[in-house]
Structure 1
């Protein structure tokens, strides 16, 4: 199963949508590189769609996302009367495809990026970086069984009703809000599968505990007792999910909280260290320098 992974923000944005109804024998059109994502949601019947060398059978209550950079075609005609919603969307951010055989990064519009070439980074840090904010991943299965098909159809009908007034800014804003809820519904099918993994659940519980108690003294033994998992198992789960140990996760979170205090308060460095769970100010300063490349005082001076 291919997973489309979007780096957000910016969020994918709605372009246009509609409802198609066809009789038995309908064949999806043959198209090349349409430059937008095409979300197909089957309401009745079944669609038989090909994308490059793969074929999909999309039944009622299912959805398929066709990529903007591929060849799409009807693999066979509909065997019964079929109705489906279609929705075009795009993103100005980056997106990638994760599959069993490949993981290729693309930019919006379908331009391939060589994985060996690093993206250019501005010399000036983004303002968001001061707050520890960065893009996160929105993961959508390319072929989706809808968890709440009735709710998605309700949202699509609302989009249809807004079409006649889409020239109004307030209506276009409303369209984007409705589309984001559709994305949330589509993403839920993946999240439900991931939350069913004990390993993922353990890592997420550990992260929640660390974030809630970061001001306190936390040991691996205390973490294990609180979650009722062995500390070694917790560490393995967090490394798999977050790429770091629980102690490393805690350290990074404490440093992110300290950055907010450095910016928003005039507290002395020693007090900030204490506020975020460090027993000794020198250890806080050395940890900050290691992660951020500058001292806490130099970081604060950026905003003076």
Structure 2
């Protein structure tokens, strides 16, 4: 088994998202070879398997696994894909200082342990550790973050959209960082994740508690408890927030009428869509579009 190396970054400055996409490598083809591309290259496989190497280190990236290729190394395919292999990919900058550390080493304190006087409101740097190669704890949530980034891409020239991209990227970095702990999903989190995955796949439809319970194979009351514990909201509220999030993306990247946007994300009544949007965002859908989707 490959010993997991960690990419340790000092923050601030924060890592910076550049671009991302989704790619399918056909059977008997392979990932291109590259050398010293000066940006990190994150790959997350959804089907098939990638066979890659970075200098002397070999990796097999199976579905639900992530690999970050370093900006200062040569990486290449060790063999062709045995089947069609689909991956999300992303390029990003570390932003500031970074280095590779062993997973067995504790994080070093950034500050001198001796007493010091700190100026009020001073910026205190900290470190994050991201596994270079890992199995995702919540793959469906990670895929959803990539999908949201992809939907924002056509409007990347708009300041509001670029800011939203950075927010999604930082959430994705957090997901990767959490997976470095190698903790197994608790029964509660496993139930909540499966329910959330179902809701993300069916948010445009009418979702009943019975349908959710049948899919997750737990009683709706237990599902609600798990989602409240893990996500801080009920399945109904989670679905509502998801629909509003998708509506925000459509408002940013399309010229669809506001009522049509509501229908696209699962609201049957335009008035109810406007009420829910305003309650969660503090601004109407129309004003949100005017404020953030302006060219």
TM range (shorter): 0.5 to 0.7
Structure 2 residue ranges without an equivalent (≥5): 106-117, 185-295
2:14 corresponds to: 11
Q: Secondary structure, in 3 states, of the residue corresponding to 1:4?
A: strand
The TM-score, its normalising length taken from structure 1, stands at 0.53
Q: Secondary structure, in 3 states, of the residue corresponding to 2:180?
A: helix
Pair 1:183-2:186 in alignment:
no
Pair 1:173-2:163 in alignment:
yes
Q: Secondary structure, in 3 states, of the residue corresponding to 2:147?
A: helix
Q: Secondary structure, in 3 states, of the residue corresponding to 1:83?
A: strand
1:61 corresponds to: 64
Q: What does 1:180-219 correspond to in 2, within 5 Å?
A: 180-191=170-181, 193=183
1:164 corresponds to: 154
User: Once the 2 structures are TM-superposed, how far is the Cα of residue 133 of structure 1 from its aligned partner?
Assistant: 4.2
**Which residue of 68, 72, 76 maps to 2:75?**
72
**Which residue of 82, 86, 93 maps to 2:85?**
82
| CA displacement 1:102-143 (0-9 Å, x = unmatched) | 9xxxxxxxxxxxxxxxxxxxxxxxxx8544642111101100
1:33 corresponds to: 36
1:91 corresponds to: 94
User: Once the 2 structures are TM-superposed, how far is the Cα of residue 92 of structure 1 from its aligned partner?
Assistant: 2.3
**Which residue of 101, 121, 126 maps to 1:136?**
126
Inter-partner Cα distance in structure 2 for 1:53 and 1:145 = 21
8 A contact 2:25–2:31 mirrored in 1: no
The TM-score, its normalising length taken from structure 2, stands at 0.55
1:149 corresponds to: 139
Structure 1 residue ranges without an equivalent (≥5): 103-127, 195-304
1:255 corresponds to: none
- The list of structure 1 runs, each at least 4 consecutive aligned residues, that deviate by more than 4 angstroms after superposition, is none
Judging changes above 3 Å, is the alpha-carbon distance between structure 1 residues 160 and 100 closer, same or farther for their aligned structure 2 residues? Answer: closer
Query: Structure 1 stretch 92-101 or stretch 54-63: which is displaced more?
Result: 92-101
| CA displacement 1:230-283 (0-9 Å, x = unmatched) | xxxxxxxxxxxxxxxxxxxxxxxxxxxxxxxxxxxxxxxxxxxxxxxxxxxxxx
Q: Secondary structure, in 3 states, of the residue corresponding to 2:142?
A: helix
Inter-partner Cα distance in structure 2 for 1:129 and 1:17 = 39
1:114 corresponds to: none
Judging changes above 3 Å, is the alpha-carbon distance between structure 1 residues 141 and 100 closer, same or farther for their aligned structure 2 residues? Answer: closer
Inter-partner Cα distance in structure 1 for 2:6 and 2:60 = 17
User: Once the 2 structures are TM-superposed, how far is the Cα of residue 100 of structure 1 from its aligned partner?
Assistant: 7.5
User: Once the 2 structures are TM-superposed, how far is the Cα of residue 74 of structure 1 from its aligned partner?
Assistant: 0.5
Inter-partner Cα distance in structure 2 for 1:142 and 1:129 = 36
Judging changes above 3 Å, is the alpha-carbon distance between structure 1 residues 101 and 75 closer, same or farther for their aligned structure 2 residues? Answer: farther
1:110 corresponds to: none
